[in-house]
Amino acid sequence: MKVLLIITRADTVGGAQVHVKDLACFLQQHEHEVLVITGEKGPFNDFLNSFSIKTTACDYFKQSINPFLDWQTLWFLVKTIRQFQPDIVATHSSKAGILGRLAAKITNKPCVFTAHGWAFTDGIPEPSRSVYEVIEKWIEPITDKVICVSENDRQIALKAGMPADKLAMIHYGIEDVPHILRSTHHPNDPIRILMVARFDAQKDHATLIKAFKSIKNAHLELLGGGPKLEEIKTMVSQMGMADRVNFRGFCSNVSELLPQGDIFTLITNWEGFPYAIIEAMRAEMPIIASQVGGVAESVIDGLTGYCVPRGDVETLTDRLEKLVNNAQLRREMGIQGRQKYESELTLDQMCKTTLNIYQDVIYKRQFKAK
C-alpha cells in the first residue's frame, strides 16, 4: 500500500508532527510505501529524514489563509498525488485537511482526515472559529473518513452536523521508553513542576505563573519556544520570580527531561488530545491540566491527576499545593497514569487501529467502483 501523509507545519515538532512520524515509521516497518508532504521546509523535515522517511516540502503551503498561495499549494498537491499515485491520502491539521481533501477529490483518491483538535472548538477566537466551522461542514462530504483524536472532538463534530458513520475516534498512542526514563524524586531536591508547551495564544502560561507565585519549596521548569516567550519572561521578572522559574527553550529530548520533574502541568486555552500529557503519564508523573478538549479523557480527576477549569488561578493554586506537599499522592497518581498509558495509549494500539481504517476506506472505495 502507498500512503501519502500531508501536514501543514514543519517549523515545529509538536504532537501532530510526532503522530505523523510514528504512523509513517509503523507503515514502513510493515512494508508500506510512505511519502510526507509538509509546508515550507523546517525542523520537522529533518526529523523525518532522520527516520529514513521520504518527505517533500511546499514553499507555498502556509498556515494562514492566502487565496493565491493556497491555489498554488492545491495544484502542488494534485501534481504530487498524480506522480506518487497513493492508494490513500491521509491529511493532518486543518489547513492540510482542507487542501489535501480537495486534491484527493480532484485526483479521485480515497482520503482520511485526522483532526488534531477542531479549529472551531471552544477557546479559539472569532472570526477564525466560525470560518473554520463553515469550511469543515462544506468539505466533509468529500471525506471518506474523519479520525477524531478524542471523544470530545467526535461529539463536537456530531453537534456540527457531521454524520456519525463518517467519524472514528482514535486516541493518540506513543512508544514506550526504558524504565530509567520514569520520574524519580530525591528527598533533598526541590519539587520540580514542568510544562512542555509552545509559547503562543493556545497555551496559558500566564495563569500557571500567577498560580505558582504562592507555591513554596518548588521550582517551575518551562520547556518550549514561541512568539510569546519574551512576554512571559517579562511577566516572571516583574513578579520577582526569576530565581524560581527556569526557561529551558525548545527541547528535542523531552522524554529524557521529564524524569527530572515531579509534577507535569499543561495549562491551555484549547486542546484536542494533548500528546505531552501522554508522555508525562508514560513517565509516571502526576498531571495538572486545564479541562479543555479531550484532556479529561486522559487526566482522570483525582486519580491520575487534576483537571482544572480554564483560566482558574485559584483552583490551579490549590491543586499545585496538594501535590507539592504530598509525595505519596504524587507517587500514587503517577502510577495510575502509567497504568492507563499501558492499557489504552500505546503506539501499537493506535497504529493498528489507524491502519485498519485506511484499509477499510480503500476497500469500500474499490467496492463502490465495481
- How does pLDDT run across 61-87, given as a tens digit for each residue? 988 878 899 999 999 999 999 999 999
123: cell is 477557546
pLDDT at 69 (0 to 100) = 92
8 Å CB contact between 194 and 264: yes
Q: What share of the chain in percent tops pLDDT 90?
A: 78
pLDDT at 370 (0 to 100) = 63
What letter does residue 245 receive in the DSSP assignment? E
Q: What is the mean pLDDT of residues 120-128?
A: 78
Instruction: Return the closest-CA partner of residue 173 out of 362, 53, 25, 306.
Output: 25
Torsion angle (degrees, nearest 10) of CA 349, 303, 200, 160 = 60
Q: What is the mean pLDDT of residues 119-135?
A: 80
Q: What is the mean pLDDT of residues 228-245?
A: 96
Torsional sign, CA 158, 174, 91, 122: positive
Q: φ, ψ for residue 92 (rounded to 5)?
A: -140, 135
Q: What share of the chain in percent tops pLDDT 70?
A: 99
Asked if pLDDT for residue 250 goes beyond 90, the answer is no
Give whole-number Cα distances, 200 to 232, 268, 289, 336, in Å: 10, 10, 17, 31
Instruction: Return the closest-CA partner of residue 281 out of 352, 201, 236, 336.
Output: 336
Q: What is the band of 268 on the pLDDT scale with cuts at 50, 70, 90?
A: very high
Write the CATH number of the domain with boundaries 179-344. Answer: 3.40.50.2000
Domain boundaries, the chain: 2-174+346-369, 179-344
Place of cell 511577566: 235
- Give Cβ neighbours of residue 158 (< 8 Å, ≥ 6 apart): 164, 167
pLDDT at 134 (0 to 100) = 86
Write the CATH number of the domain with boundaries 2-174+346-369. Answer: 3.40.50.2000
- Tell me how far apart the alpha carbons of residues 120 and 136 are, in angstroms, rounded to a whole number: 9
Respond yes or no on whether the N-terminal peptide bond of residue 141 is cis (omega within 30° of 0).
no
- Residue 52 CA, chain-centre distance (Å), reads 22
Instruction: Return the closest-CA partner of residue 81 out of 114, 111, 60.
Output: 111
Average pLDDT, the chain: 93
DSSP H or E segment with residue 74: helix 67-84
- Residue 334 CA, chain-centre distance (Å), reads 21
pLDDT at 175 (0 to 100) = 92
pLDDT at 369 (0 to 100) = 67
pTM of the predicted model as reported, rounded to 2 decimal places? 0.87
- How does pLDDT run across 297-332, given as a tens digit for each residue? 999 999 999 999 999 999 999 999 999 999 999 999
- How does pLDDT run across 156-176, given as a tens digit for each residue? 999 988 999 999 999 999 999
Q: Which of 34-38, 115-119, 274-278, 338-342 comes out lowest in average pLDDT?
A: 115-119
Asked if pLDDT for residue 368 goes beyond 80, the answer is no
- Give Cβ neighbours of residue 187 (< 8 Å, ≥ 6 apart): none
Q: What is the band of 128 on the pLDDT scale with cuts at 50, 70, 90?
A: confident
- Tell me how far apart the alpha carbons of residues 239 and 234 are, in angstroms, rounded to a whole number: 9
- Tell me how far apart the alpha carbons of residues 53 and 131 are, in angstroms, rounded to a whole number: 34
Same fold, 2-174+346-369 and 179-344: yes
Query: Reduced to 3 states, what is the DSSP secondary structure of residue 239?
Result: coil
Helix ranges (H only) for 140-257 are 151-159, 205-212, 229-238, 254-257
183: cell is 520520574
